[in-house]
């Protein structure tokens, strides 16, 4: 093993580590990331909250694309990286898990108490009455409202959106809230132009400030939503370790940096650290 891996092992084995994960952790589950080597740059402008709520045509395009993309997200299963994080938590080495992902794979792998910074794609909320439903129920209703709708999907984004030409979504029918009957439905995720709930951000900052180290997994840290926790850790003199394929905007703050595949690296890390007695 490399010297950097040995240093990472010592850091994690000491315990009280907070994990911050990004889309790169889920690529081995078949969900491409945005910027890493297994992903691609966005081909279309990301949906914003303002456009989603104000433009019926844009909302129809979003739900048509997301309806197809959800099938990929729903089939995705936790990979070795997710399972390794859960093993580290079971071994008592983690002080918390923060994820920028909306795929729910940390929890599916057995991790508990995960703070899902940007929400979860498998949950849907009515913006009028507040009713929450599961995404599978919405998928069933959209399928019934659009029999035979099936377009060729070339690329699925980490948020479940896909790339489709406008003509492919012509005629797609969206559905309203099944409880109040007229409410606008939105996936329970934070769109661009929308802010992460303040209490959730405060909980993340509190975790980071109590940590002995911050471990960033599979995030380019391009957006401030995740990078702010690296900045907070650095400001408090808390070591920051980054495991990611490709450069990140947090590299200048990292005390330890590994450019390596997440699944194999984290599995080896868990084998080494989880076998040792938990720190007192």
- Of 134, 160, 189, at which residue does a domain stop? 189
Q: Please tell me whether 204 is known to bind a ligand.
A: no
Instruction: Give residue for tokens 């792998």.
Output: 109
Residue 39 has pLDDT above 50, yes or no: no
CATH code, domain with 246? 3.40.50.1220
Give the residue numbers spanning the domain of 233: 1-31+78-118+196-280
CATH code, domain with 141? 3.30.1600
Q: Please tell me whether 244 is known to bind a ligand.
A: yes
Give the number of domains in the chain.
Answer: 2
My answer on whether 98 and 82 are in the same domain is yes
My answer on whether 146 and 87 are in the same domain is no
- Of 161, 189, 217, at which residue does a domain stop? 189
Residue 36 lies in a domain: no
Q: Please tell me whether 101 is known to bind a ligand.
A: yes
pTM for the structure as a whole:
0.90
**To the nearest whole number, what is the mean pLDDT of the chain?**
90
Q: Please tell me whether 79 is known to bind a ligand.
A: no
Sorted by sequence, the CB contacts under 8 Å of residue 177 that are 6+ apart come out as: 126, 128, 129, 131, 183, 184, 185
Please give the Cα distance from 120 to 66 (Å, whole number). 13
Question: Would you call 155 a catalytic residue per the annotation?
Answer: no
| Predicted confidence (pLDDT) per residue in 63-114, tens digit | 998 998 888 888 899 999 999 999 999 999 999 999 999 999 999 999 999 9
Q: Please tell me whether 152 is known to bind a ligand.
A: no
Both tokens assigned to 207: 């975790």
82, 118, 139, 236: which is the annotated catalytic residue?
A: 118
Q: How many other C-beta atoms are found inside a 10 Å radius of the C-beta of residue 174?
A: 19
Residue 36 has pLDDT above 90, yes or no: no
Residue 55 lies in a domain: yes
Q: Please tell me whether 161 is known to bind a ligand.
A: no
Q: Please tell me whether 219 is known to bind a ligand.
A: yes
pLDDT of residue 37: 47
The mean pLDDT value for 258-269 works out to: 97
Question: Are 98 and 207 contacting, i.e. CB atoms less than 8 angstroms apart?
Answer: yes
My answer on whether 85 and 129 are in the same domain is no
pLDDT band at 171 (very low <50, low <70, confident <90, very high): confident
pLDDT band at 275 (very low <50, low <70, confident <90, very high): confident
Question: Are 258 and 243 contacting, i.e. CB atoms less than 8 angstroms apart?
Answer: yes
Residue 238 has pLDDT above 80, yes or no: yes
pLDDT band at 15 (very low <50, low <70, confident <90, very high): very high
- In the beta sheet, which residues pair with residue 242? 216, 257
Q: Please tell me whether 100 is known to bind a ligand.
A: yes
| Predicted confidence (pLDDT) per residue in 136-148, tens digit | 999 999 999 999 8
Sorted by sequence, the CB contacts under 8 Å of residue 15 that are 6+ apart come out as: 92, 93, 94, 95, 212, 278, 279
Rounded to the nearest angstrom, the gap between the alpha carbon of residue 177 and the centroid of all alpha carbons in its chain is 26
Q: Please tell me whether 262 is known to bind a ligand.
A: yes
Q: Please tell me whether 273 is known to bind a ligand.
A: no
> What letter does residue 192 receive in the DSSP assignment?
B
- In the beta sheet, which residues pair with residue 186? 125
pLDDT of residue 42: 44
| Predicted confidence (pLDDT) per residue in 174-214, tens digit | 999 999 999 999 999 999 889 999 999 999 999 999 999 99
Q: Which pairing describes strands 132-134 and 119-126: parallel, antiparallel, or unpaired?
A: antiparallel
- Of 130, 155, 189, at which residue does a domain stop? 189
Residue 162 has pLDDT above 70, yes or no: no
Sorted by sequence, the CB contacts under 8 Å of residue 185 that are 6+ apart come out as: 124, 125, 126, 127, 138, 174, 175, 176, 177
My answer on whether 71 and 88 are in the same domain is no
């Amino acid at each position: 093993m490399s010297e950097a891996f040995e240093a990472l092992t010592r850091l994690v084995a000491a315990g009280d580590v907070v994990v911050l994960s990004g889309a790169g952790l889920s690529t081995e589950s078949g969900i491409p990331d945005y910027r890493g080597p297994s992903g691609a740059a966005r081909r279309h402008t990301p949906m914003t909250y303002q456009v989603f709520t104000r433009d019926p045509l844009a909302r129809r395009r979003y739900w048509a694309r997301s309806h197809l993309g959800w099938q990929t997200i729903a089939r995705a299963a936790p990979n070795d990286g997710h399972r390794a994080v859960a093993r580290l938590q079971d071994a008592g080495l983690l002080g918390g898990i923060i994820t920028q992902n909306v795929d729910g794979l940390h929890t599916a792998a057995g991790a508990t108490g995960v703070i899902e910074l940007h929400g979860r794609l498998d949950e849907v909320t009515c913006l009028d009455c507040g009713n929450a439903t599961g995404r599978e129920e919405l998928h069933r209703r959209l399928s019934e409202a659009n029999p035979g709708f099936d377009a060729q999907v070339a690329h699925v984004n980490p948020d479940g959106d896909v790339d489709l030409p406008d003509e492919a979504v012509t005629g797609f029918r969206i559905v309203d809230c099944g409880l109040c009957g007229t409410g606008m439905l939105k996936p329970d995720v934070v769109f661009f132009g929308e802010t992460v709930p303040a209490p959730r951000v405060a909980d993340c900052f509190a975790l980071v400030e109590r940590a002995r180290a911050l471990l960033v997994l599979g995030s380019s840290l391009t957006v401030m939503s995740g990078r702010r926790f690296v900045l907070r850790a650095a400001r408090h003199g808390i070591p920051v370790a980054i495991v990611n394929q490709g450069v990140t905007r947090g590299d200048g703050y990292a005390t330890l940096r590994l450019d390596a595949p997440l699944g194999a690296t984290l599995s080896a890390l868990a084998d080494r650290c989880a076998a040792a007695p938990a720190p007192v």
